[in-house]
Amino acid sequence: MDPVSKQKYDDYLNTFKVSESVIETARFTGKLEGEKKGRKEGREEGREEGREEGINKAKVETILKCIEKGFSVSLISELVDIPEDEVQRIIRGNR
């Protein structure tokens, strides 16, 4: 191979290697960003589930206190905004 052709070939290989490196860096960066976004979404989802659990626990405690005070199931259902059959299920499950 003559020197000019060899130089062109070497330049092509170097360009190709740089392109591969850029692509690999972009993939790696994308992967890291995706993992970061996934962790953030996971934390947000966990917080939301925790809030819902706390609200549900508070409703159960309220239902049980209301039963102790002699409130009717229909009144408890209205106050806690839960269907009567669900209130009855909670009462049965906590006796």
Per-residue pLDDT tens for 14-44?
Answer: 776 777 887 888 888 888 888 888 888 888 9
pLDDT digits (tens, 9 = 90+) for 51-73: 888 888 999 999 999 999 999 99
Q: What is the pLDDT of residue 76?
A: 93
DSSP code of residue 86: H
Q: Are 58 and 76 spatial neighbours (Cβ–Cβ below 8 Å)? A: no
Pairwise CA distance, residues 40 & 71, whole Å: 43
- Name residue, tokens 């995706």: 34
pLDDT digits (tens, 9 = 90+) for 2-11: 887 888 777 7
Q: Model-level pTM?
A: 0.57
Domain locations along the chain: 3-93
Alpha helices in the chain (DSSP H): 3-68, 73-80, 84-93
Tokens of 1: 């191979």
Q: What is the pLDDT of residue 88?
A: 94
Is the pLDDT at 74 greater than 80? The verdict is yes
